[in-house]
Chain A
């Protein structure tokens, strides 16, 4: 394995700046890695090697003539397929958008390009970001690099797996109920959901507009912070984007210090419902922080338990409307019934063929929840719960600076294990959903491996809206302490994914 792919994005950026390595070399190393392992991992839906190398060469040229470039210039990045990319196919994991090439770039993608980063391709995801395992992708599941028989989390399993498998040092994800944080938890990586409105949603194919947020995926906290600094900021194309300037997240990591930091443990999310190893690593992490000056406080968030119920009304309601545009008239798949048909019949046939079962399930749920006579009981009540969850956060943040929870109840489960049990699948997001309902930021940082199965476990921190820097402070501090304890990054313990090993596992999977 080339050393270049083992570098963090920050380290690679420094080597590029020092001209010890070129972007073309770094990009080629990652493309080679993709060629070697992605057949087994299936993190990518689309890889554009030619364009990536062209972009890399252009950055090298600009650096050569002495142009001032940012810290991530020349660093490769993977992009979740939920973000539209000009000239690069974008499917959101759905058959209904197969072959569609967008005419414009999403704002975070444009910002990544403007920062001189090198997009490698598009990563796999649950169809329209509906899922917690990436098994709902229309293009086949992604496999967890720690154990190819297991799920990489979802919906952003592709982005997390690409980073965990050293196919890319960085990736962009989207988080509607945990789709960045839960995959980070099960793959031993870092994932951040910024404050709602912190990163533009323009060009992110909407799942639930009031919950969606774009964020960074990486192997280190500093790398996420550097990417966060690139993609954050006001966008006139997104009416919900926050106009105020942001402090540097990278700076927060570099100055990380938890002395005097009040950390609240949400008692409702520290229960028997969580796997023993997950809870064990969670408490060890808190002890470590306490030893270094943090104050650990138990807080209660009594309404969090209604979060999933409210979320599964608000999300399908908004999704049922957002997905109405996929009707075959202007773009994407078109299925014409035998012998032709009216436009309604063509729309219906297209949606029947183009959407997978989970998408249909949620469209039906959402359509029902918004129907006349049911609106108040379902959508209306769910919005009330949302307000109560926000109040729980307000009350908690009046006492503490950040909250801590395990990121998800279990380590990575087996592919297929929960595919036929939607409710069990939905419960994966019990700890991550409250942040989306309230619009507050969250981070998942590796906390170790669960003793019982040797699989990665994450710890989640949550901060008040607009206080994303607090997450980088506490996340960066914990990461540094754990690296000392482990003697190196957690991903050093992941399987090597050598070709021989892959072949054997592939057979096992199928």
Chain B
């Protein structure tokens, strides 16, 4: 495949205005599927099951089988709709989207068409550079996921050149909420970063709601990015492309950026954009054409006769509204004020994806400064060295306990780092590790005095030097005492005792 010509990004932005539209599919983590009682592989407990083991007759489209709506999925969808600032439809309806494809057991997908459960919302999205956008949501609707095809025998793992394909219907019928934005205009050069930050915000929202595992690498969260360009000053939108299933935050930003550069090169050359779906290639950082798509695609939608309309009780909607977590942007503003961080320090925590950990650590009793220091410092260093996520290493409560031990004077920073190693190794709570490893600071003056006397005896001229006003001579004795105490002494206290001794006379 010939590599597409790209225009320099800055030049592209000078000449064209990008318009983006994002479709995010969220797999809900209900125990069972959207329309059957089969276990849901998007629930943490059932992830990674053997192919075709999580299936009921409905998921295989067996003759005679009928769908039944999962009530929990409806509640999750309402909560999500509310968290997106949407109105919830008094009555919404499922429809059949008809098309033949082997991963679609019934050869129709049960989705929502003209009557989605949630519509007309808005989400506040903040970029790393501090710009804030209100992204308008057109709709959020419920539907079922399709099965998964594995193409065997070709070089690329794609259907082209494959000898045969295997179908796994475990994913068929997984509950999905598809969130569709209105066209986003005005982001300019920030469009790629906005696309990324928008998806990150959706992830924050679904995690705060607890309605999805939201792991992009598992497909719990998938994004299709629509991109079009229009010449600066033109009212009418250009022809769009839809880049499918971009499966990491970073890729979303790259894919939008790539499409802007690719389309700009074509348009600048007098060419036209083909309306089509495009595939994102992680390895090359490029997109390639999929099937042509037109608005005239005929899915022969009609109301799903096997299901009744979804008419949620208004009391339930209010109950779910009252239980909504704080919106991510508002929460960030509140925490920043409460913690008193500088812009730089706060953004550092946010960009490291450690906001939830720091907040939980503060909630467990640590000072915001200590919580930030541990998470962005030592824990991040170790996590980076191990290629892991800092959040996976320790619990916020453990970090708070560690900070408390330092505050109480039980641990020095150096000792605390040793205790943290124990925590990461799973040896128990910080206090248990202090006891087990005997790592507490020695606060018994008697033991310290004995060590000081021993050190002074080895360096008899030190006391005289101190008395002569050469206080810095105490350093040698402090060093020797710290060494003798294996670091478990508070150096400041040792210094005090040495100076006391010098001023005490006789010697």
A binding-site residues for B, Cβ under 8 Å: 83-84, 90, 92, 97, 100, 102-104, 106, 201-206, 208-210, 236-240, 317-318, 320-321, 324-327, 329-331, 343-344, 347, 367, 370-372, 375, 379
CB contact between B306 and one of A92, A97, A209, A372 (< 8 Å): that residue: A209
> A106 vs B105: C-alpha distance in the bound complex, in angstroms?
19
Which residues on the B side are within 8 Å of A203 (C-beta)? 64-65
Instruction: Say whether A238 contacts B66, CB under 8 Å.
Output: yes
Q: From A323, which residue of chain B is reached at the shortest CB distance?
A: B107
List CB contacts (< 8 Å) of B125-176 with chain A. 165, 167
When the two chains form their complex, are residues B64 and A106 in contact, meaning their CB atoms are under 8 A apart? yes
- B66, B69, B296, B302: the one contacting A202 at CB < 8 Å is B66
- Which of under 10, 10 to 19, 20 to 34, or 35 or more describes the interface residues of B? 20 to 34
Residues of chain A lying within 8 A (CB to CB) of residue B165:
343
Since A102-B63, A327-B100 are in contact, a sample of 13 more A-B pairs with Cβ atoms closer than 8 Å, ordered by chain A residue number, is A202-B66, A206-B64, A209-B305, A320-B300, A324-B98, A324-B100, A327-B107, A329-B102, A329-B105, A330-B105, A343-B102, A370-B301, A372-B298
CB of A375 within 8 A of CB of B302, answer yes
Contact A325–B105 (Cβ < 8 Å): yes
Please measure, in the bound complex, the distance between the C-alpha atom of A325 and the C-alpha atom of B106, giving whole angstroms.
4
Contacts of A370 in B (CB 8 A): 98, 300-302
How far in angstroms is the closest Cβ of chain A from B304? 8
Q: List 6 A-B contacts (CB under 8 A).
A: A205-B63, A237-B68, A325-B105, A325-B106, A329-B102, A343-B102
Task: Confirm or deny: B96 has a beta carbon within 8 angstroms of a beta carbon on chain A.
Answer: yes
A450 → chain B closest CB, angstroms = 37
Q: In the complex, what residues of A have CB within 8 A of residue B105's CB?
A: 325, 329-330
Residues of chain B in range 280-305 having any CB-CB distance to chain A below 8 Å:
296, 298, 300-302, 305
Known contacts being A104-B57, A372-B296, is A317 close to B62, with CB within 8 Å?
Answer: no
Check if A102 sits within 8 Å of B308, measured CB to CB.
no
Q: Which residue of A lies closest to B296 (CB)?
A: A372
Shortest C-beta distance, A107 to chain B (Å), equals 9
Give complex CA distance A326, B61 in Å: 9
Residues on B with C-beta less than 8 A from A92 are 63
Q: Which residues of chain B are within 8 angstroms of A204 by Cβ–Cβ distance?
A: 64
Contact of B68 among A236, A325, A327, A331 (CB under 8 A): A236
Q: A104-B57, A330-B105 are in contact. Are A317 and B302 (CB under 8 A)?
A: yes
| Secondary structure dominating the interface of A | loop
Residues of A within 8 A of B106 (CB): 324-325
Contact indicator B63/A97 (Cβ below 8 Å): yes
By the criterion CB–CB under 8 Å, are B108 and A324 in contact?
yes
CB distance from B443 to the nearest CB of A (A): 67
Contact partner of B108 among A201, A321, A326, CB < 8 A?
Answer: A321
B interface with A by C-beta (< 8 Å) = 57, 60-69, 96, 98, 100, 102, 105-108, 165, 167, 296, 298, 300-302, 305-308
Contact A239 B300 (CB under 8 A): no
* Max chain A Cβ within 10 angstroms of own Cβ: one of B57, B65, B108, B300: B300
Q: Please name all residues of chain A whose beta carbon is closer than 8 Å to the beta carbon of B306 when the two chains form the complex.
A: 206, 209, 239-240
Chain B residue nearest to A82 (CB atoms) is: B64
List residues of chain B with CB within 8 A of the CB of A104: 57, 62, 64
Residues of B within 8 Å of A210, CB to CB, are 305
Give bound CA distance, A83 to B65, whole Å.
11
B61 in contact with A330 (CB, 8 Å): yes
How far is A492 from B331 in the complex, measured between Cα atoms in Å? Answer: 83
In the complex, the answer to whether B300 meets A321 with C-beta atoms within 8 Å is yes
Contact with B63, one of A236, A317, A325, A367 (Cβ below 8 angstroms): A325
Cβ contact of A84, chosen from B64, B102, B108, B301, cutoff 8 A: B64
State the Cβ distance, B34 to closest chain A Cβ, in Å: 12
- Give the chain B neighbours of A343 by CB distance below 8 A: 102, 165
Q: Which residue of A lies closest to B165 (CB)?
A: A343
Please tell me if the beta carbons of A379 and B68 are within 8 angstroms of each other in the complex: no
| Contact indicator A102/B64 (Cβ below 8 Å) | yes
A104 to B66, CA, bound (A): 13
B108 near A371: Cβ-Cβ < 8 Å? no
Chain B nearest CB, measured from A365 CB (Å) = 13
Contacts of B305 in A (CB 8 A): 208-210, 240, 318
Q: Is the CB of B69 within 8 A of A84?
A: no
CB of A347 within 8 A of CB of B67, answer: no
Which 10 A-B pairs give the minimum distances between C-beta atoms?
Answer: A324-B107, A209-B305, A370-B300, A210-B305, A203-B64, A325-B61, A84-B64, A205-B63, A372-B298, A325-B106
- Which A residue's beta carbon lies closest to that of B308? A239
